[in-house]
Amino acid sequence: MHPAPSVIFFTVFSGIGFGLLVFLGLDTFYVTGWTAFVFFAIAYLCAVGGLIASTFHLGHPERAMKAFTQWRSSWLSREGVCAVVALVLMGIYGAGVVFLQVHWAILGHLGALFSLLTVFTTSMIYTQLTTIPRWNSWLTPLMFMSFSLAGGALLSGNVGSATVLILVAALIQIVLWLRGDGALARSGTTLATATGLGHIGDVRAFEPPHTGTNYLLKEFAYVVGRKHSTKLRIISIVLFAVIPVALLVFAPFSHLLAALAVVSHVAGAFATRWLFFAEAEHVVGLYYGKR
Amino acid sequence: MTTLPTSTTKKLGLVIDLDTCVGCHACVISCKGWNTENYGAPLSDTDAYGGDPSGTFLNRVHSFEVQPPVLKDQPAPEAQLIHFPKSCLHCEDAPCVTVCPTGASYKRVEDGIVLVNESDCIGCGLCAWACPYGAREMDAVEKVMKKCTLCVDRIYNENLPEEDREPACVRTCPAGARHFGDFADPDSNVSKLTAERGGMDLMPEQGTKPVNKYLPPRPKDTLSEGAGDIDILAPYLEPVAQEAKGFLGWLDKTLEKL
């Protein structure tokens, strides 16, 4: 799949933003006033910034409001609805925390639930696609949610939770990579089933429909960087898990080191998310002999 | 609405005969022509005369080589070249429809045609991701999703002569490899063809229940069957002169000696 920068930016930052909102809504750390304002501002910058970035890959962003209508069937629509509900609930809750020094617990817990649901619905957009066997796994929602919660714990300064959640995210990511590598083969979709010609013999893509490229090849047959995937996997896991955990566990707490841990984690999350798209094999590539 | 209808009155679709298709791409051109000049946004081309041409097509013809396995004691079978037109299959369980967040994609209850309401399309591309067949393409200029409409603006169009009220690709096919009809009617031309020739689904394991069917190529004649002779007269057609004579014969001998 083509790794569109807007979608990578969106999934990484929205994930972290909504993860932070989960921790704020659950009151895992008691803040009020200006300190709380800074935390809520960071969470909203990440979550809303990511959502805005996601509209950049739309052909007609001016019609984006229509995307709230089909929540009965579409995970993308459900994501939009959940995001708005989460942001409104947490906005009211945050106003109480910042300006009135009151923690409306029910509102906070509901906001946290919808924040996590938003990340879950985002992940289901990818998980539901049988056309991309690597994503079509229950590990995909676990990966998205563990990254979101790990990022939220890290940003909210919950050192203990952050350490555990980052390690959980790393474990899920590794299993997703290893299982994902054989997913296309296990799916049973081959050029033989794609053409229905397998009963005659071995099928080979002989000539593409056109000499030039097209939308399908650009979007679905992205193969750049595959040969570096092992290196990139190692680099990303060092950045998003090893360095932050080492800083959290072994270094004495300081805001500078914490900031370094966050930067490293986010950079690593970007790398894994780039791989998430770049390594994903869409079955339409079979017709072009590109799998 | 992006939920799928539980059933449709008609099941309009195509039968594509892989035995008959000669790979001329006439269907590709007639499709592009009709769908650029009529319903919806035109199918754009970018850098059409430059070094990196690209364009939107609702129908593309692939060519596949199939190598039958070598059976023992038989000469290696010839590889077959099969031309393979591919467009929207108007699936009964169309995954492209249910993923649409705006309701722009829908499957019609009356005839089962899968369409895009372009004025509702936000161009997110998710329906193209959900389609295993590559039947949907985002137009690079109009930024809306384009797909085969089964020429909905021809098949019901009373301004056209009756023989033209079928999809442009079917109307134009010089080999008669494309057939249009109603699969819900067991006596229709397409239902009969599918039954007679073993019409098949593409990627049945994806669970999309395509309406369009593909007819597999008929088995090839095998010349080497029987006694291994092409004809009973073959022994009389053995080459008479086995060795070259004259200048070529001399050249052959001389070169052998070197």
| Least CB–CB distance from A60: residue in B86, B123, B201 | B123
Q: Dump the DSSP string for A178-207.
A: HHHHTHHHHH---HHHHHT-TTTSEEEEEE
Eight-class DSSP state of B190: H
User: Do the chains contact at B216 and A76, CB–CB below 8 Å?
Assistant: no
Q: Give the integer Cα–Cα distance in Å for A128 and B243.
A: 70
With CA atoms as reference, the chain B residue closest to A65 would be B102
Spatial CB neighbours of B137, under 8 Å, sequence gap ≥ 6: A214, A215, A216, B56, B57, B58, B128, B145, B146, B147
What CATH number does the domain containing A99 carry? 1.20.1630.10
Q: pLDDT-derived band of residue A163, with 50, 70 and 90 as boundaries?
A: very high
Confidence tier at A225 by pLDDT (50, 70, 90):
low
Longest Cα pair distance anywhere in chain A, in angstroms? 75
Q: How far apart are CA A268 and CA A261, in angstroms?
A: 11
Q: What ipTM was assigned to the predicted interfaces of this complex?
A: 0.93
- Report which residue type is found at A150: A
pLDDT tens profile A64-113: 999 999 999 999 999 999 999 999 999 999 999 998 888 899 999 999 99
- Shortest CA gap B249–chain A (Å): 42
Written as six digits, the tokens of A275 are 């791989």
| C-alpha distance from A89 to closest chain B C-alpha (Å) | 23
What is the pLDDT averaged over residues A22-41?
A: 87
Burial of B46 (0-12, 13-18, 19+ CB in 10 A): middle
| Structure-block tokens of residue A229 | 């995937």
| End-to-end Cα distance, chain A | 12
State pLDDT tens for residues B130-144. 999 999 999 999 999
Cβ count within 10 A of residue B209 = 12
Cα A88–A94–A95 angle (5° rounding)?
A: 95
Q: How many CA atoms lie within 13 A of A12 on its CB side?
A: 23
Say how far apart CA A107 and CA A127 lie, in whole Å: 29
Percent of chain B with pLDDT over 70: 95
Domain count, chain A: 1
Facing A70 at nearest CB: one of B56, B68, B101: B101
DSSP A134-174: TT-STHHHHHHHHHHHHHHHHHTT-HHHHHHHHHHHHHHHH
In whole angstroms, what is the distance from residue A27 CA to residue A23 CA? Answer: 6
* pLDDT of A165: 97
One-letter amino acid identity for B53?
P
Which domains does chain B carry? 12-215 (3.30.70.20)
Residue with tokens 């990340």: A119
Confidence of residue B3 (pLDDT cuts 50, 70, 90): confident
Residue B247 near residue B254, CB atoms below 8 Å: no
Q: At what angle do helices A75-95 and A5-25 cross, to 10 degrees?
A: 40
CA dist B109 and A69 (Å) reads 20
Residue A57 to residue B137, Cβ atoms within 8 A: no
Of the partner residues A63, A199, A206, the one whose CB lies closest to the CB of residue B81: A206
- Average pLDDT, integer, range B36-44: 91
- Contact state of A67 with B86 under an 8 Å Cβ cutoff: no
User: For residues B169 and B148, what is the distance between their CA atoms, to the nearest angstrom?
Assistant: 10
Amino acid A15 reads G
Q: What interhelical angle do A243-250 and A159-181 show, nearest 10?
A: 160
Which residue range is the domain that position A259 belongs to? Answer: 5-288
Instruction: For residue B48, give the nearest of A217, A59, A212, A209 by alpha carbon.
Output: A212
pLDDT in the model for residue B1 = 54
- Looking at residue B103, its pLDDT comes to 94
CA distance B187 to A226: 51
The answer, yes or no, to whether residue B206 has pLDDT greater than 80, is: yes
Q: Does B122 touch chain A (CB under 8 A)?
A: yes
Instruction: Give B103-117 pLDDT, tens digit per residue.
Output: 999 999 999 999 999
d(CA B83, CA B66): 11
* CA distances (Å), origin B27, targets A70, B191, B254: 35, 22, 58
Nearest partner of A141 among A123, A129, A122, A125, judged by Cα: A123
